Chains A and B, each alone.
Chain A
Amino acid sequence: MSETHAITIEKVLPYGPEKIWRTLTSSEMIARWLMPNDFAAIVGHRFNFRTKPIGDWDGVVHCEVLEADPPRLLSYSWKGGSDANPAFGSRLNSTVTWTLTPVEGGTHLQMVHDGFEFPGNRFAFDAMGPGWGRALDRIGELTAED
């Protein structure tokens, strides 16, 4: 059984959702803050992000628009990488979801990149937070005292 894990980044930005939506969905804008692409905010549209090739990976991220509900919700699949690659270039079958929520003074923008598949169950994951090595040592000490 594998578990997937997500990276979440969120922030309140001092702009309206419409303005942020344009920056998230205009191909030209995306190229300026993320990567060169042929994005279009149409559900079912398949597109690529292109970055520098790393090792066995050609640097192409294969994506498909899964949801586009302006100016609230945008999600696309994110597939790429190679089994033979470390870290950033490693194989990934994931989803990126952007959520825009109007708040006082601007928009709460949240990005969730989900689908990092770790072999192992909750225990293994829980053990992987900061200082997990120490936590395991502590478990060892407690067990030893028992």
Chain B
Amino acid sequence: MTAAAQLTNVMKTLADPTRRAVFERIAREGEIAATGLVKGSKVSQPAVSQHLRALRDAGLVTERRDGRHVHYRVAPKGLAPLVDWLGHYRAFWNERFENLERLLKETER
């Protein structure tokens, strides 16, 4: 997947409030089984499964199978596309700020 597609995918995936709630619950719990996620929420089991699939496909969570149970964790690099996006602009402005300083110095005379 290209960086663009990844960023779009992460944003689209987390734009859904219910799905985001599932993601945040997983992050809070560290690791949680799908059954545990269903138990503690008002969302139906098929809906939770669907959100988990979307989160997994976007690289936001990883799963671990243990017998009949599937456990979910937040993927360490899952939010990296968002961080990169901001990082690019930060680098951009740092560079332009340096240009600005250089120009001010040049025009001192």
A42-63 Cβ-contact flags toward B at 8 Å (1 or 0): 0000000000000100000000
CA distance A87 to B69 in the complex (A): 37
CB atoms of B99 and A119 under 8 A apart: no
Which secondary structure dominates where chain B touches chain A?
helix
CB atoms of B79 and A132 under 8 A apart: yes
Most buried by A among B6, B20, B23, B82: B82
Interface of chain B residues 1 through 46 with chain A (CB within 8 A): 2-4, 6-8, 11, 14-15, 17, 20, 23-24, 27-31
Known: A23-B103, A119-B14, A119-B20. A34 touches B96 (CB 8 A): yes
Chain A residues with Cβ below 8 Å from B8 are: 83-84
11 residue pairs of the A-B complex, CB under 8 angstroms, read: A7-B93, A24-B100, A34-B96, A83-B8, A86-B4, A86-B7, A87-B85, A124-B79, A139-B27, A139-B30, A143-B29
CB atoms of B30 and A143 under 8 A apart: yes
CA distance A17 to B102 in the complex (A): 16
CB atoms of A127 and B79 under 8 A apart: yes
Shortest beta-carbon distance from B1 to chain A in Å: 11
Residues of B within 8 A of A (CB): 2-4, 6-8, 11, 14-15, 17, 20, 23-24, 27-31, 73-74, 76-77, 79, 81-90, 92-94, 96-97, 99-104, 107-108
CB atoms of B11 and A34 under 8 A apart: no
CA distance A2 to B3 in the complex (A): 21
Known: A7-B93, A33-B103. A136 touches B2 (CB 8 A): no
Interface of chain A residues 96 through 146 with chain B (CB within 8 A): 111, 113, 116, 118-121, 123-124, 127-128, 132-133, 136-137, 139-144
Chain B residues with Cβ below 8 Å from A1 are: 17
A90 contacts which of B4, B28, B79 (Cβ < 8 Å)? B4
CA distance A107 to B58 in the complex (A): 45
CB atoms of A116 and B30 under 8 A apart: no
CB atoms of B84 and A87 under 8 A apart: yes
CB atoms of A9 and B79 under 8 A apart: no
Chain A residues with Cβ below 8 Å from B84 are: 86-87
Shortest beta-carbon distance from A138 to chain B in Å: 9
CA distance A34 to B11 in the complex (A): 29
CA distance A7 to B94 in the complex (A): 10
B94 contacts which of A9, A33, A123, A137 (Cβ < 8 Å)? A9
